[in-house]
Amino acid sequence: MPRLAIGPDLPRDLGALTPSARRDVVVALRRFLLNVAGAPHPERVRGARDPRVATLRLADGLRGVVVRQRDVYWLRTVLPDPESWAFARRHRYGVNPVIGVIEEWDAEALERVEPALRRPAAAQGLFDPVCDGDLLGLGLDVQALPLFRLIASEADVAALEPLLPPTQYARWRCWRAAAR
């Protein structure tokens, strides 16, 4: 039987629904957990940046976005159909190997800003003096390492802050404070 983990924003998301929609979502989630006939089933998201992301049809016009890790489904949010598909395609997830927290990346937004961070080959990047192993040892995400290598100034980091998981930004601030 599947297990369900709840995202931190889920109570707020459920509270924003009408009482009847909230009831339908809760009933659908119970059916999913009990694995009964007619229960919602995970639907693969084409074009997702994280292959573990799926959606569950929970109520009329509402879907839950879940991230699957073995038999555990992490329910991130409940959104109207079109928004749920877009949310599911846009994000990727990982566990920070140093501090052990789950991180959500807005991969689509980071892909859009990457060209703006490109600099002339002769320009020095903020992280150039630091080897990859040290950056990974701080808990910076291995998939985001190429992006971090493009950062040339503190202004770049400040601009990226809203797009980074809070833990990644905090790890960068710790490294920067120690480097001074």
Q: 91: Cβ–Cβ under 8 A, 6 or more apart, which residues?
A: 49, 50, 53, 76, 104, 105, 106, 107, 108
Q: Is 102 a residue whose pLDDT tops 80?
A: yes
At 16, the pLDDT band (50, 70, 90 cuts) reads: very high
What is the pLDDT at residue 129?
Answer: 85
CB neighbours of 159 closer than 8 A, spacing ≥ 6?
Answer: 113
Read off the pLDDT of residues 49-76 as tens digits, 9 standing for 90 and up: 999 999 999 999 999 999 998 889 999 9
Q: What is the pLDDT of residues 103-157, one digit of tens each?
A: 899 999 988 888 888 765 557 788 888 889 988 888 888 888 888 888 888 888 8
**First and final C-alpha spacing in the chain:** 51
Across all residues in the chain, what is the average pLDDT? 88
